[in-house]
Amino acid sequence: MTLSKVTLSKMRLSQQVPPATLEGVDDTLTAPALRDMAWLLHAPDLVILPGYAGRPDNRALGFTPHGTLAAWLGHHAASLAEQPWGGLHRARMGHYHERLWHYLLDHAPDTRLLARNVRVFQRRNTLGELDMLYRTRRDPAPVHLEVAIKFYLGLPEGPGAAASPSRWIGPGGIDSLARKSAHMARHQLAFSAGTAARQTLRHWLAPRDSGETLPPLRPQFAMPGVLFYPWHATLPAPEGSTPDHHRGLWCYAQDWPALRASLGEIALGAWLPKPCWLAPPPLTHFTPLDEAANTALARLEERPVPQQLMVYAPETRRTRRVFIVPNDWPRQIPLPPVPHWSG
C-alpha cells in the first residue's frame, strides 16, 4: 500500500525536515504536468554538441532570481493542469515533452513561441520539420530549437571504446546516444540553414521576425533524460556527455536481489510505467521498495522489456533511478552512425 499523507506528515514531523525536493521537483507540487514542467526546468542536457548551444537556461527564459521560477510555477499551476494534453503524457513521451516546451516558451517571462512543427516542402515533397522557433526579449532574432528526451543504458561491452556513445542504447535497443547525437547535429540542427528551410521561413515568419531578408537562425537543442550505468561493471561516462547529466543504474533481473541488498532496509520505491518517466512521483506514491520492485518484476515477467524504478532513501532524502532488464537483454544493438566526412 502507498504511504498515506498522514504517515508522511508524521515522518516529516518526527524528522523535523521540510517537504522533499526530488530531482528539482518540490513535493508540494501535485499536478503531473506541473511536476513534469518543474523537472524539465531543472533537468540538464545529456550531451554537448560542438558548434551548437544547449537548452535555453533559466536566465534566458527570465527565471532570475530563483524565486521567480517558483512564483511562475505557482501562477501557472491551474493552467498546466487544465491544458488539453490529449492523453499525450500517457501515450507518446516525445510528443508530450515537445508540448511542455511549447507551453514553456510561450509563457516564460522572456520568451515567446513563434512557430512549432514547421514542415519544409520542396515540390510538394516534405523534406523535414523544424521542432520550434522562438525569440527572446533580449534578442528578437528567431531561434531554432530541436528537442528530444532520452533514456540510455550503458553497455560494458559493445561497439567502440569504453567511452563510445555507441555503447549507450535505448531500453528497446533501437536507438543509441551516438546515433541520436549525430542525427541531431548533422540533420535536425543544420536543417534550418538549408535553402528550402530558409525559403519556407521567409514566407512564413512575420516581417518583424524576418525583416526584408531572413538572418541566420540560431540553432539550439535540448536533450534532457537519464544515463543508466551498469550496476555489475564499471563504465566511464560517454564522450561528449555533460558533467552534470542525470545518472541511474541498471541491472539484470537475476542481479536485482544483490542490488536490492545494497539500497538499505527502509528504502522506498515507485514503479515508473512508460511514458511517465519525467518527474518523480510525489512521495505519497512511494511504497516499501520490495513492493514496488515486485510490481516491476511482475511486469517484466508479463512483457520482457526493461522496467524503471525510482528508489528513495529517507535517510538521505535522495532518489536513484534503476532499470531492471531481462536476463537476455539486449536482444539487439544499433550500429554506430556512419562517420561524417567533410570536404
pLDDT means per 10 residues, the chain with 343 residues, are 50 50 92 94 96 93 87 93 67 89 96 91 77 90 94 96 97 96 93 81 64 74 98 97 98 98 93 94 95 97 96 92 97 86 45
CA distance 293 to 322: 10
260 grid coordinates: 536490492
Nearest-5° angle of CA 247, CA 144, CA 102?
Answer: 70
CA distances from 127 to 34, 119, 158, 189, 207 (A): 35, 8, 34, 14, 24
Pairing between β-strand 143-147 and β-strand 218-222 as defined by DSSP bridges: parallel
pLDDT of residue 10: 40
pLDDT of residue 330: 96
Helix (H, G, I), strand (E, B) or coil at 207: helix
Domain that holds residue 167: 5-16+29-325
CA distances from 55 to 126, 191, 197 (A): 27, 18, 22
pLDDT of residue 18: 55
Tell me the whole-structure pTM to 2 decimals: 0.90
pLDDT of residue 241: 98
CA distance 73 to 96: 18
60 is a domain residue: yes
330 is a domain residue: no
Q: Check residue 270 and give left, alpha or beta (phi > 0: left; psi -120 to 50: alpha).
A: beta
Q: Which residues, other chains included, contact 252 with Cβ-Cβ below 8 Å and sequence gap of 6+?
A: 232, 324, 325, 326, 327, 329
22 is a domain residue: no
23 is a domain residue: no
130 is a domain residue: yes
pLDDT of residue 343: 41
Phi, psi of 201 (to 5 degrees): -70, -35
pLDDT of residue 228: 98
Into how many domains does the chain fold? 1
CA distance 278 to 258: 27
In contact, 27 and 91? CB cutoff 8 Å = no
Q: Which residue has the cell 520482457?
A: 304
181 is a domain residue: yes
Q: Check residue 53 and give left, alpha or beta (phi > 0: left; psi -120 to 50: alpha).
A: beta
pLDDT of residue 300: 97
Pairing between β-strand 247-252 and β-strand 225-230 as defined by DSSP bridges: parallel
CA distance 109 to 64: 10
pLDDT of residue 12: 44
In this structure, what is the dihedral angle of CA atoms 227, 338, 130, 133, given to the nearest 10 degrees? 60
185 is a domain residue: yes
In contact, 308 and 321? CB cutoff 8 Å = yes
339 is a domain residue: no
Helix (H, G, I), strand (E, B) or coil at 320: strand
